[in-house]
Amino acid sequence: MFSNIEKNKWLQGAAYFLMVITFVTSHINNVSAKTQKKAPASAVAYDDNQNASVGVMDLSVLPAVKGSVKQYLPTPYGNLGGLLLNDGTQVMFSTMFGEAVKSFVRPRQEVTIRGLKARKLPLLQAFLIENKNGRKIEEDSPEAGFSPVPITGPDLFVQGQIAQLLHNLQGQVMGVVLKDGTVVYIRPSDIGKLGFELQPGVSLYVRGMGSSTSMGKALQARLIGQTQNHMIELLQINAPPFGAPAGSPAYDYIPQ
């Protein structure tokens, strides 16, 4: 039989051996995980076959609109949220889908778009876009739209005449496109505060946070008016509320 000393030495050796095995196994798993490339999540389904849809839903039954792309409709954050066709049709989609659309179609190209059409407005929520070569992309998860972190920096200032109104999916006016292609977004709740009617031909002077990229210029109106000397300030919903005055009892209060 083994003595107590020999048993202790044997147990210590076994424990050390198990520790080495565990360390080596963990290291191998970590290296394997790092070398494996995970495909990024996408909201787009591509139809390389040009004949068969790769999506789960049959989008061929949706109404189709054919036309030439007049311009992109970028957001103030610099991503793509829609297209404007030459016939005035406003095409809307999620900014996640827009990441694929901006490299799939270009202004002045012919497209066929399937989606949900508004009853009375030239508005279409797109779920499938087919380019002139017959290749298609589909919106795979329209509910997953999101915007990146808002950019910071000095306001943009633009002026020009309204070419077309823009609407949201509820049919409310949410902005305008100027004749030079600049996209101005105005919250529907602020439309009634303007003191004048938004319609084609009306001159606008606008200042607000926005972006200017290869897709075009877009901004969220903060100051707006028909002349530069008479511009009204619109409430900034995302602005933090004013804090309590310094020295007051509520100044040091931290909300839970």
CB of 139 closer than 8 Å to CB of 94: yes
Residues 170 and 140 in one domain: no
Number of domains in the chain: 2
Is residue 183 in a domain?
Answer: yes
**What tens digit of pLDDT does each residue of 145-175 get?**
444 445 556 789 999 999 999 999 999 999 9
Residues 126 and 67 in one domain: yes
**What tens digit of pLDDT does each residue of 234-245 get?**
976 555 555 666
pLDDT at 28: 56
Residues 56 and 129 in one domain: yes
Question: Range of 190's domain?
Answer: 156-233
* CATH code assigned at 53: 2.40.50
Residues 164 and 75 in one domain: no
**What tens digit of pLDDT does each residue of 15-43 get?**
666 665 666 566 555 545 444 444 443 45
Residues 114 and 195 in one domain: no
Residues 90 and 163 in one domain: no
* CATH code assigned at 177: 2.40.50.140
Residue ranges of E strands in the chain:
44-47, 64-74, 80-85, 90-92, 110-117, 123-130, 136-139, 156-167, 173-178, 183-185, 203-213, 216-227, 230-233
pLDDT at 145: 43
In 3D, which of 188, 151, 158, 156 has the Cα closest to residue 173?
188
Q: Which amino acid, 44? A: V
